[in-house]
Amino acid sequence: MTNNYLAAALMLLVGVGFALALTALAKYIGPRRPNKAKDVPYECGSDVIGSPRARFEVKFYQVAIVFLVFDIETAFLYPWALKYRDLSCSGAVDAGGVCSGAVSLFGLGEVFVFMGILVVALAYVWRKRAVGWE
């Protein structure tokens, strides 16, 4: 067990060491010929317009946050959809997808609860005027 870790540590050391060695070599023996153009940011040869530290509207942040809520919702719906057959059957489900027990509404109800909570969140952001772009 310890030996395995030793190999990993050695690998890490060699990897990092190699990168550092190459960087150091380039720094100390690489030729260096500075000029003015090399200090200019690369803009496909054009002149630089404005500062790279431009400001963005805070609305983008708002949209990003709201997007995250619905993105996660979608991400959770996929596993739910895959498990839906199992969740709607009180007994076992065979390979063909046929339910051996009674039909249960658990899966459907569960997702409605989940969506309900999200609708509350949507109502909240709607109220707060976070949806829309005025």
Partner 1 sequence: MGLTTKLDAAVNWARKFSLFQYPFVTACCGMEFMSVAAPKYDIARFGAEFPRFSPRQADLLIIVGTITERQGPALRRIYEQMCEPKWVVAFGVCASTGGFYQNYSTMPGADQAIPVDVYIPGCPPRPEQVLDGLIMLQERIQRGEGHNQIVIANEKAAMNAQKLGIAYDVPATAIRPRIEASKG
**Site for partner 1 contains 27 (CB under 8 A):** no
**Site for partner 1 contains 49 (CB under 8 A):** no
Residues 72-78: contacts with CB under 8 Å, at least 24 apart: 73/114, 73/115, 73/118, 76/114, 77/111
Using CB under 8 A, pick the residue from 2, 3, 46, 51 that binds partner 1. Answer: 46
**Site for partner 1 contains 52 (CB under 8 A):** no
Using CB under 8 A, pick the residue from 4, 7, 45, 55 that binds partner 1. Answer: 45
Number of residues that bind partner 1 (CB under 8 A): 12
Stretch in the footprint of partner 1 (CB under 8 A) among 10-18, 27-35, 69-77, 107-115 = 27-35
Q: Which residues bind partner 1 (CB under 8 A)?
A: 31, 33, 35-40, 42, 44-46
